Amino acid sequence: MDPFFIVILVLGLFIFLSSFFTVKQQTAVIIERFGKFLSVRNSGLQLKIPLIDRIAGRVNLRIQQLDVMIETKTKDNVFIKMKVSVQFKVIQEHVYEAFYKLEYPHDQITAYVFDVVRAEVPKLILDDVFERKDDIAIGVKRELNEAMMTYGYDIINTLVTDIDPDIQVKNAMNRINAADREKTAAMFESEAQRIRIVAKAKAEAESKKLQGQGIADQRREIARGLVESVEVLNQVGINSQEASALIVITQHYDTLQAIGADTNSNLILLPNSPQAASDMLNSMVTSFTASNIIGEQMKNQPKRVKKQGTTAIDYNPSDTSNPAENPNPTEQA
């Protein structure tokens, strides 16, 4: 076979196969004929005229994301860095505009994002920027939709994903937040302390009240027991004075016994001997007897009447003489 014929055959086969091409899913292919737009081919197996038609470019129809970093200033003169994420895609019906009207779509979108953010953020203070970041994102989306729709691009969503103030500003904000939380904690601690003090005071007042009632009941029962003890001793011929002295001595020894039962007691009673107890009993009996004698004499002593015309010097309360027997003490003298 002629070699020239073989070359022609191979070349013809190559040209024939180049007439077929495939388009991937979510992709559009621009076909030009002699440099002029011919058609837009979608996904699948496609055919073109070799050496006449050519593939000018491929357009991605999937949703794309562009992250834009912006440095701007707030109304209170704080410089911040913002990250705005723009999600967009090419409208399938406007592939021609997206391919031929806009050469660098990313640069165009970035410029609009810068313009909108630097127009909106300087109107807000730093705290409002954090609170109203969604409003900023909506403003960016609205502006981009109006501008990019002409070029065949649809803005799906815009998100303010990061707001980063200067490091010194962040430290100051953290200190303010920490101080505010410490203030709140101090208020709660003070309130808790007040509640504890009030509750403790109420508990102490109730305890004192109950303690006073207990002491009163105790003394009442002790007095009742003493009365019963004196009555029992009177029935066996012991008078009240001797009975009281006996009860006191008994309580004295009960106290000594209670002190001796406590191993940790350091109390010392001086004097502390059997003779001291006997002396105390004798002294009590003697004092009781003397008080009874004096009381009887004071009951039998006649009352002295103070004469009219006498002065405080003439009146002697210690004089026990009967004024009726000596009506004129001056004459007797």
Domain boundaries, the chain: 17-60, 64-165
pLDDT of residue 64: 92
**Segments in 29-149 forming alpha helices (H):** 95-100, 105-120, 126-131, 133-148
pLDDT at residue number 328: 47
State the pLDDT at residue 266.
Answer: 65
Please report the pLDDT score of residue 327 as a whole number: 47
Measure the CA–CA gap between 266 and 254, rounded to whole angstroms. 17
Give me the pLDDT at residue 24, please.
92
Q: Dihedral (C-alpha) 98, 103, 107, 111: value to the nearest 10 degrees?
A: -70
Question: Beta 79-90 vs 36-41: how paired, if at all?
Answer: unpaired
pLDDT-flagged residues of the chain (< 50): 310-315, 317-318, 320, 323-333
How high is the pLDDT of residue 241?
Answer: 63
Cis peptide leading into residue 271 (ω within 30°): yes
- DSSP label at residue 327: S
pLDDT value at residue 221: 78
Alpha-carbon gap, residue 286 to 292, rounded angstroms: 10
Instruction: Extract the tokens encoding 143.
Output: 């502006």
The tokens for 19 are: 């007439």
Fold of 64-165: Tetrahydropterin Synthase; Chain A (3.30.479)
Radius of gyration of the chain (CA): 59
Instruction: Give buried/exposed letters for 254-265 (b at 16+ CB in 10 A, else e).
Output: eeeeeeeeeeee
CA-wise closest residue to 129 among 94, 82, 87: 82
Q: Which pLDDT score, from 0 to 100, does residue 65 have?
A: 92
DSSP letter assigned to residue 123: G
Write down the pLDDT at residue 200.
87
- Strands across the sheet containing 64-73: 64-73, 79-90, 153-165
pLDDT mean across residues, the chain: 79
pLDDT of residue 13: 80
Q: Is the pTM of this model over 0.85?
A: no
Q: Find all residues with CB under 8 Å of 59, minimum gap 6, and list them.
A: 27, 28, 29, 30, 90, 95, 98, 99
pLDDT digits (tens, 9 = 90+) for 96-135: 999 998 888 899 889 989 988 988 899 888 888 888 888 8
